[in-house]
Structure 1
Amino acid sequence: MPRLKALRWWIIGLVMLGAIINYLTRSTMGVAAPTLMGDLDITTEQYGWITGAFQLGIMLQPVCGYVLDAIGLKWGFAIFAGAWSVISMAHALGSSWQGFAALRALLGLAEGSAQPAGMKAVATWFPAKERGLAGGVYNIGASLGSMLAPPLVAWAILTWNWRAAFVITGALGLVWVALWLRLYQPPDRHPALSDEERGRIAAGQEAHLTESATRPAILSLLRQRNFWGIALPRFLADPTWGTLSFWIPLYLVSTRGFDLKQIALFAWLPFVAADLGCLFGPTVVLWLQKRGVSLINARRGAFTLGAILMTGMMFVGRVESPYAAIALLCLGGFAHQTLSVTVITMSSDLFRRSEVATVAGLAGMMGNFGVLIFSLLIGGLVASVGYDPFFVALGVLDLLGAVVLWTLVRDPARTAR
């Protein structure tokens, strides 16, 4: 195989493509929900349990992270991606809310591998100064996948039916698995990696985060304040993404009077803004570092800026114009990914490479626990109180997350001096 220049960026592009498929398959339900619920007589409360089942499954992210650390990124990610693709296609057979809840739980378990896999790839393939941008690039996959879902799923429903949408998105995942197995190898064995780039990657790794031969001890990780310093902000922040992915199409239909074609035209816009946030967060970090701010403090600063921007979400339910509401949702998507990519990347700054996937999985479990609680509250209360209180809550939660991040996280590089 010929040597490729800047191979690490090709690798993260391949990981990003996997994330696109991951978030496309998980977002299919949210876009299809108004049609599917009417077809099968599923209530809003029952839909809340369906989304909750997905969150219960994805809360097992630590299992995914541990498997990825134990058997390696190549085969671990391929197994999980193949599983989520087949499970997504099986949604086409669903006929009751209980059946969908079971499928969503299994899908959540398999799809929980995406973030630990992405962070493990970033920690393995990139020197420290590039990890923020690399994390932003692969996290664009989350936004792109969610962005592609409204037009693609609406097209499938209008052309065939909602069942076809699940088959199409699942089949795309199987194509990606074949690409992954063909193209991915770790840096020490990749035939297209030049000696110069391999040396650059190795030289840019922090000494205090060197690889360990032992498997990560989960109880030991749970006793570390740095773990809770990134896990609790994720618990507070991730409900925003769950709301954008699973509830906004229903909100636009029930409260703003949108039809399926309007959802296809507008529901993807917050995810375009989220793409920009994936790049804006790392840019803020680099800007602060160039002015003498340490890496950890720069990441905390970028998170705080995103939390301040998130306060715009408090007004989504209060503006009269549906287009103003879309604009505020776009601001929320931008702000969320600004802070989310920042705190997710911190697992590779604070822990050894052999621990990164496990830590990312545990922190992801906390984030998805937050989404679970928020989704069940929306499903149970939205009929009586409306969506407005939930938008207000989303505007406040990340400010609390910023306080936790500044209070708990300690910079291991400074501690080691």
Structure 2
Amino acid sequence: MNRESPHSICEHAGVRYDESLTPDPRSPIPSPFFLPARWVVVGVLVLSTSLSFLDRQVLAALAPILKQEFSLSNEGYGYIVSAFSLAYAIVALPAGAFIDRVGLTRGVSAVVAVWSLAAMATGLTGGLAGLVACRAWLGAAEAGGIPATGKGFALYLEPRERAMGTALNQVGITLGMVAAPLFAGWLAVAYGWRAAFVGTGALGFLWIPLWLVVLRRVRAPQAQAPAAAAGGRGPGRDWRLWALAAANILMMTVYSLWTNWTTVFLVSAHGLTQAQANARLAWIPPVFASLGGLFGGWLSMVYARRGDSLYAARFRACVVAAILLTSTAAVPLAPGAGLATALISLSFFMAVAMSANIYAMPLDLFGARHAAFAVSVLTASYGLMQTVVSPLFGRLIDRVGFGAVCGLAGLLPLASLGVLWLVGRVSGRAEGESRP
């Protein structure tokens, strides 16, 4: 007897449809662009991620001048980061459910518009309270960004391509992180720090028309009557999703370290000015991070082609990354800024290689229909982790320096690996029967 697969139910632009009755958006449908249509849509979604992280990273790029402007210690700066992270964690789950409900087109357009307004408002704030409020607003709005792109990848990419999709999203993250110290740093020098927030935030309003134009030119799947809901438990009741969230918390600690503290580290540990750190070195680790995402996606594809299940392939890629992430502990021992930057780059490279595979796992387990919510659980876990560790990092740095922070961050991915092993060992694989 034929049974409908839960993964045959998909959604595009707010319309649910059955893949068995309609053209698959992952198939080579006609495209007015040089690339296959599905990769064009993926590329535009990745660009939205770039803008998200550009807006997010302006704070880190301008941290030294903002600390002086608002008389902040490192711990105080950590609390500013926590304001963003707490809002990000609280809103992520409802944001993912919202995107699953209204559809990819309207959902991503809404979140980009709201976070762009928040970024611009930061430049107009009149004091510390306003800065905290704007960062919380930005965090709440950006909580929908990664779930939206995750839904797009689940809709448009084949299962074996999804880790490469998340890897490309890491490239988008890197573009935003590299652009922040360069573009925002230039705007701050030329026009003041307020102009840096306003100028970067305005770019989101140029992205929304591009997104809508691309979707008009790329043929969408034919609409059908709403399909019946898939049987079984929803992802929110599946322990594997929450285990992946715990693994994400442990692994992303090192990611959070270099996302928020690279410029501060180079200034405090090696005597550089903010302008020197941003222009010469702070942009280099994010470049290696994007390469790490591509490496992680490529490595899991290699393992899958050799016969591993999808989960086993992703797990093996995580093993390689977690072992090499122990090198993070050596960063404060580097005698010069150049060597320290090289070690940070290696750490960031491996963190993103591991992240690309962890963020693909819920897409494998729960499919396109619940993709935004499933990914939102991971983004919420990341925001929760940053809320806790950012002021903790700041306190440790103020009291004992970066040594303890880097040592802790280098070991936690090994604990993450243990959780991932448990998920695979107890629950089996999303694809295939082999075990890591």
Q: TM-score, normalised by structure 1?
A: 0.90
Going from structure 1 to structure 2, the CA distance change for 1:288 and 1:412 (only over 3 Å counts) comes to: closer
1:214 CA drift (Å): 4.1
Tell me, yes or no, if structure 1 residue 299 matches structure 2 residue 299: no
- Aligned residues of 2:244 and 2:378 also touching (Cα < 8 A): yes
Q: Secondary structure at the match of 2:307?
A: coil
Shift of the alpha carbon at 1:414?
4.4
Identity of aligned residues (%): 30
Structure 2 match to 1:392: 407
The equivalent of 1:412 in structure 2 is 430
- Residue 40 of structure 1 corresponds to 70
Residue number among 196, 202, 205 corresponding to 1:171 in the alignment: 202
Q: What is the rounded CA distance, in whole Å, between the counterparts of 2:231 and 2:190 in structure 1?
A: 49
CA positional deviation for 1:212: 6.5
The equivalent of 1:252 in structure 2 is 266
Shift of 1:57: 1.0
Task: Determine if contact 1:282/1:342 at 8 Å carries over to the other structure.
Answer: yes
2:82 maps to 1:52:
yes
| 1:64 aligned to which of 79, 83, 95 | 95
In structure 1, the residue matched to 2:256 is 242
SS at match of 2:333: coil
What is the CA distance between 1:232 and its match in structure 2?
Answer: 1.2
Specify the code of the residue in structure 2 equivalent to 1:387: F
Which runs of structure 2 are paired with 1:102-141 in the superposition (5 Å)?
102-141=133-172
Q: Which of 132, 142, 145 is the equivalent residue of 1:101?
A: 132
State the aligned residue count. Answer: 395
Report matched runs for 1:3-402 at 5 Å.
Answer: 3-4=32-33, 6-59=36-89, 60-184=91-215, 192-193=218-219, 213-214=228-229, 220-263=234-277, 264-402=279-417
Match of 1:203 in 2: none
Q: Is contact 2:74-2:394 (8 Å) kept?
A: yes
One-letter amino acid of the counterpart of residue 429, structure 2: D
TM-score of the two chains, using structure 2 as the length reference: 0.86
1:234 CA drift (Å): 0.8
Aligned residue for 2:123, secondary structure, equals: helix
Task: Provide the C-alpha distance between the structure 2 equivalents of 1:385 and 1:97, rounded to a whole number of angstroms.
Answer: 27
Q: Deviations over 1:263-321 (max 9, x none)?
A: 22210101000010111001111111222211110000111111112111111112221
Q: String of CA shifts for 1:163-222, please: whole Å, max 9, x gaps.
A: 11101110111111221123226xxxxx5349xxx79xxxxxxxxxxx9744999x9534
CA pair 412-278 structure 1, distance change in 2 beyond 3 A: closer
State the alpha-carbon separation in 1 of the partners of residues 249 and 231 from structure 2.
22
1:239 shift after superposition: 2.0
Question: SS state of the match for residue 370, structure 2?
Answer: helix
Change (3 A) 1:386 1:68: same
Matched residue, 2:26: none
Structure 1: 5+ residue stretches without partners: 186-190, 200-210
Secondary structure of the structure 2 residue equivalent to 1:258? coil
The CA distance in 2 between the partners of 1:9 and 1:221, in whole Å, is: 27
Distance 1:368 1:216 in 2: 31
2-structure distance, mates of 1:133, 1:162: 36
Aligned counterparts of 1:268 and 1:95: Cα–Cα separation in 2: 29
Per-residue deviation, 1:374: 1.3
What do residues 35-90 of structure 1 show as CA deviations (whole Å, max 9, x unaligned)?
Answer: 12212322322211110010001102111111100101111111110010011011
Rounded Cα–Cα distance in structure 1 between residues aligned with 2:215 and 2:429: 32
Q: Tell me how far apart the structure 2 counterparts of residues 213 and 252 of structure 1 sit (CA, whole Å).
A: 55
Q: In the alignment, is the contact (CA less than 8 A) between 2:253 and 2:412 conserved in 1?
A: no
2:151–2:372 Cα contact (<8 Å) kept? yes
CA gap of 1:307–1:2, structure 2 versus 1, over 3 A, is: closer
Give CA deviations for 1:104-147 in whole Å, capped at 9, x if unaligned.
11100101111101110000011212222222112211111111
CA apart distance, 1:235: 0.6
Matched residues in 2 for 1:225 and 1:173: separation? 36
Structure 1 residues 394 and 212: CA distance shift in structure 2, 3 A: farther
CA distance in 2, matches of 1:2, 1:46: 50
- Distance across 2 between alignment mates of 1:97 and 1:408: 43
- How many angstroms apart in 1 are the aligned matches of 2:75 and 2:170? 31
Q: Distance in 2 between matches of 1:387 and 1:249?
A: 13
Specify the SS of the correspondent of 1:238: helix
Provide the alpha-carbon RMSD of the alignment.
2.2
Letter of the 1:94 counterpart:
T
